[in-house]
Amino acid sequence: MKSTNILNLSILLLSAGLLLSSCAAKQAKQLLQHKNALSAISNDKNASPQKKLDVLMSNMVTMMHEGMRITNPKKGVGYVSKFGKENNTSINQIISEVGAWQKNMSTAEQLAFGAQMLRKPYTKDALELIPKFVRKYKQIAFVSKTVGNLKSSVLGSGGGLLEKGLKGLGL
């Protein structure tokens, strides 16, 4: 009887250990994919600012979804913090390049850019996720700094256009 209980407990502990290690391995793989994508695009001299913005926003939205799925607050903070630490340089470089590109746009070009942003697959997700993500991870300096930079430098006047346009479309 005791040996059966010990065997069951051992199997349960082994299963729990494998499950936890597989989650950690999955998160490590996700972080590596984000790092590789953001590093590659930020260092690509031939990529347009629009392409860099698309890769940045796609990775940010994916990371926010991943972070929101983590139920353990300590593990979630660790995941988001590690993402920020590993990608801060690439993200800041992309935001800077896109911001400089937008500053050279005329008003008509900015409006066209805002309209084009409405059609991007990540736009609706980003606008819905950002407030929830910031509420959940507001204690991480990377989150508030990066989201603030995205809103002001990258989305600029287009950010307001995006929100108004999505509301007008009932999204």
Query: Residue 64, class by beta-carbon neighbours within 10 Å (0-12 exposed, 13-18 middle, 19+ buried)?
Result: buried
What is the number of structural domains in the chain?
1
Residue 22 placed within a domain: no
Residue 41 placed within a domain: yes
Residue 75 placed within a domain: yes
Residue 154 placed within a domain: yes
pLDDT of residue 50: 92
Residue 10 placed within a domain: no
Range of the domain at 91: 35-168
Residue 28 placed within a domain: no
Query: Residue 43, class by beta-carbon neighbours within 10 Å (0-12 exposed, 13-18 middle, 19+ buried)?
Result: exposed
pLDDT of residue 133: 87
Q: Which two tokens stand for residue 121?
A: 């697959």
Residue 11 placed within a domain: no
Residue 78 placed within a domain: yes
Could you list the pLDDT tens digit for every one of the 171 residues in the chain?
555 556 554 555 444 444 445 678 899 999 999 999 999 999 999 999 999 999 999 999 999 999 999 999 889 999 999 999 999 999 999 999 998 998 888 989 888 888 888 889 888 888 888 888 888 888 787 787 887 777 666 555 444 544 444 444 444
